Amino acid sequence: MKPLQASSGDLTADRRADFAEMLLASGEPIQAAELLLGALELAPQWAAGWYRLGEMQEVAGLLDQAAQAWLMALQLDPADRLGASLKLQLIGHAPPAAAPPSAFVETLFDHYADRFEESLVGKLGYRMPEVLDPAIRAAGPGRFRLALDLGCGTGLMGERLRPIVDRLEGYDISASMLRKARAKDIYDQLSKADLQHFSRPGAKADLVVAADVFIYVGALERIVGTVADILVDGGVFAFSVEATAGGDDFALLPSRRYAHSEAYVRRILAASGFAILSLESTTIRQDRGEPVEGLAVIARRSMAE
């Protein structure tokens, strides 16, 4: 994928953009947006600049103007690597979508890979591998023949799985995250894959894990159905979701992650032939000093009659 253009390509425009950031940091978002708009007059094809303009205008409360900036960013970058469509949804200028743009998720984690573990574990207190690990062991036969780690990232969950599986495969949308995982030498196979379109022919697995992954999927019907198809009868499915406080099945949050309701999780598992072994409320990580509440789920693929 072509790298996102961090610079406008115009030195004067870049300087104006830097000054705009200083104004924003000093609490002057309207002036910052005006200065960045001037920079964009010099570099009108700069998608990242239009996206940033929208963010500044959002802070200033100028939502209609922010929407126009994000629409321009989308026009210049139809793949939507910055997630402008999600911002439009969050301010009510676009209908809710069932999934984020795949290019947005890929770009996010490609840029995040080098500091992923330090940030997620060290600063945000991420703990899903240690939560899911004992629950998986309790549900399993002692060892698993074949385990799939969906959205494996840098291999934090894989490190927990390796001692209890004969073969471990990892799948992730980000090539940069996969390089980090590969350096740990814990997977028998690592492959680039988009979970919104995931499929896997061949031998069926007896364990599938998706730790803190469905926050970037949205609607879960397709992926849960796919997991059911690639699991053996009696196979174990372990995953987590952020929990929504509302009554909707799932919701896009200001963080541009998705949260899911317990009722929705239970319904889609039942529809795909899973029996829930455990479903526990837990703290997934911290966000701006506040705990992010979620659900840790262990389910078993029902035996064929």
Which burial class, exposed, middle or buried, applies to 139 when counting CB atoms under 10 A from its CB (0-12, 13-18, 19+)? Answer: middle
Rounded Cα–Cα distance for residues 86 and 96 (Å): 8
Domain 11-95 has CATH 3.40.50.10680: no
| pLDDT score recorded for residue 304 | 54
**Token pair 């078993």 in the structure block, residue:** 300
Q: Where are the domains of the chain?
A: 11-95, 114-301
Say which residues have a Cβ less than 8 Å from residue 202's Cβ, sequence separation at least 6: none
Measured in residues, the chain has a length of 305
Q: Which residues contact 221 (CB under 8 A, 6 or more apart)?
A: 268, 271
What pLDDT is stored for residue 305 in this prediction? 40
Instruction: Tell me what pLDDT residue 288 has.
Output: 80
Q: Give me the pLDDT at residue 1, please.
A: 42
- 233's CB contacts (< 8 A; 6+ apart) are 301, 302, 303, 304
Tell me the pTM: 0.92
Give the angle subtended at the CA of 51 by the CAs of 100 and 118, to the nearest 5°.
65
| Average pLDDT per consecutive 10 residues, the chain (305 residues; last block may be shorter) | 67 94 95 96 96 97 98 97 97 94 95 83 84 92 94 95 97 96 97 95 95 95 97 97 90 95 97 96 86 95 69
Per-residue pLDDT at 119 = 80
Residue type (1 letter), 132: L
pLDDT of residue 211: 95
Closest CA to 177 of 80, 82, 107, 81: 107
Distance, CA of 36 to CA of 21 (rounded, Å)? 9
Give the architecture-level CATH label for domain 114-301: 3-Layer(aba) Sandwich (3.40)
Q: Determine what percent of the chain falls in helix, strand and coil, rounding each to the nearest 5.
A: 45, 25, 30
